[in-house]
Structure formats: structure tokens, C-alpha cells
Structure 1
Amino acid sequence: MERLLEFIGNHLYLVLAFAAVVVLLLRDLIEGLLRKYQVITPMEAVMLINQDDAVVVDVRQPNEWAKGHIVGAKLIALEELEKRLSELEDLKSKPIIVTCQSGIRAPAACKRLIQAGFEKVYLLKNGMTAWEEANLPVTKSKST
């Protein structure tokens, strides 16, 4: 025990960094176990769209959307989601796939949709970046 205290005293920054990494890993693990939406790959998204008539909700900004988006997707910027939930009301029992550019913004939208009573919410892992890397089709039509 004496040697442990000596090690901690001599390597305080290393011990603090290790503790921070452990806390972040535990937080990520717990959050993953408690989330109520599923994370899916682009290929799984294609299957949901084709087989279960899933609706894609794109939470990016209009300028990002204009560069290319999933065919048939609905653009609702993350900041507008709360006030535009009524547009999705009829889709509460349908699968909803939420995407953004890289998968960073979409989890917040997924959580909000779950809170609003949507039953089948999916997050496109790594967002449009993964979709485009999988060479899946994109379109550049105007926002819907």
C-alpha cells in the first residue's frame, strides 16, 4: 500500500488520466445499455427502408442536405425538431431512421423522438459519412 501511494504521488497526472479514461469508458458502457434506440449500419438501414418502409429523418442543416442526402429522407434540422414533431405524428409506429453527417447530432434527436412516443427509432451509425462510404445512393433534390 505504501508503494501504491508513492507511485500515485510520483505519477499524479498519469493516475488522473487513467481515472478519467475509466470514468469515460464506464459512462459510455452504461449509456449504451440504457439507450432505447438501436444503432444500425447503412446496410441494415437499406433493409429497413426496403422491407419495413422506414422513414429517414435527416437532422443536418439545409446547406449540408443540399450536398447530398438519402432518397426520400425528410429534412428536419435538429434545432427545429421540437417544433416540427407534429409533422411526424402519423409515423409513431413506423421505423424511423435518424441521420446526421457523422453520427454526432443524431443521438439527441433519437432521444427526443423516444420521449415523444415513437416506438421504433434507429440511429444510422456514422451518419451520411458511412452511407456515402458504402456507395449507397444520394440525391441532391430540394428539402422536403
Structure 2
Amino acid sequence: MLIDLKTRIENINFDIRCVTAVQAVNELKQNNGVLIDVRENSEATNHPVPAALNIPRGILEMKALERFQDASTPLYVHCASGVRAKLAAEQLMNMGYEKVSVVTCSVPTINQANEK
């Protein structure tokens, strides 16, 4: 049986922590976490988030272990709509990362929050 994306998101087996851009920026300043942009390279190039590390969703699992060797590193994941971010957060949690949050607002809000 095929499962549509909406059902897939609803059936994620983890309680994924969701935060606003303002919360993420404030926490990042305190906890030395990492903001991960899981959009494709072209999206990140056209609408960059300066504070974010761009690791496209398609290669996240391969790059995460190289970049984040401490499972307790706070990771904040965002994309354009939140769908890829939730899927990415689920994968990171499946891999053993302990502090994963999804940023639930639009990219421009993150840029504005960084300016404050």
C-alpha cells in the first residue's frame, strides 16, 4: 500500500520538537547548536539563510555523521515548508541524535530573527 506524504508526516514515530525561528536563534546563541537547511542547493543559493549550514535532505544521512559526531549536539532543521525538515528530523533521530528540533516558520523569519 502506498502512503501519501501527509499520512507519512502524521505517522512519524517520534515526538518532534518544533520551535519558531526566534526560539531557534535564541537557543542557538546559548547552546552552540547548528541550524541545518535541508533545502536543495539551488533553493539555498537563491534564498540563503546566512546562519544555516546547507545539507540537502537527499544527502543528510551521509553528511550528518561527518559533521556532527556528538549525538547530543543540538540540531535545528528547516526547509521552505516544514515537510522536508520533519522528515529530516525523523531521520536524524533514527540515527541517534538526541536534540533535534524543527523550525516551523518561513525562511525570511529566520533571517529577520538573526538581525535582532
Corresponding position of 2:113: 136
Deviation per CA, 1:33-84: give whole Å up to 9, x if none.
x533200001100111111111011100111111233333211100111222
Whether contact under 8 Å (2:86, 2:102) holds in the other structure is yes
Alignment match, 1:84: 63
Q: Which amino acid aligns with 2:20?
A: T
- 2:75 corresponds in structure 1 to 96
Bigger shift: 68-77 or 39-48?
68-77
Given that residues 99 and 106 in structure 1 are in contact (C-alpha distance below 8 angstroms), is that contact kept between their aligned partners in structure 2?
yes
Matching residue within 36, 50, 69 for 2:48 = 69
Provide TM-score, normalisation by structure 1.
0.64
Describe how 1:1-144 pairs up with structure 2 within 5 A. Answer: 28=10, 31=11, 35-132=14-111, 135-137=112-114
Unaligned 5+ segments in structure 2 are: 1-5
CA contact (8 A) 1:60 1:77 kept: yes
The whole-number CA distance in structure 1 between the counterparts of 2:15 and 2:61 is 19
Q: Which structure ranks higher in relative contact order (CA pairs < 8 Å, sequence separation ≥ 6)?
A: 2
Which of 1 and 2 has greater Rg?
Answer: 1
**Greater per-residue helix proportion:** 1
User: Shift in Å at residue 122 of structure 1?
Assistant: 0.3
RMSD: 2.4
- Give the number of aligned pairs: 108
Find the aligned partners of 2:114 and 2:40 in 1 and give their Cα distance: 19
What is the percent sequence identity of the aligned residues?
A: 26
Return 108-117 or 68-77, whichever deviates more. Answer: 68-77
Q: CA deviation at 1:137?
A: 4.0
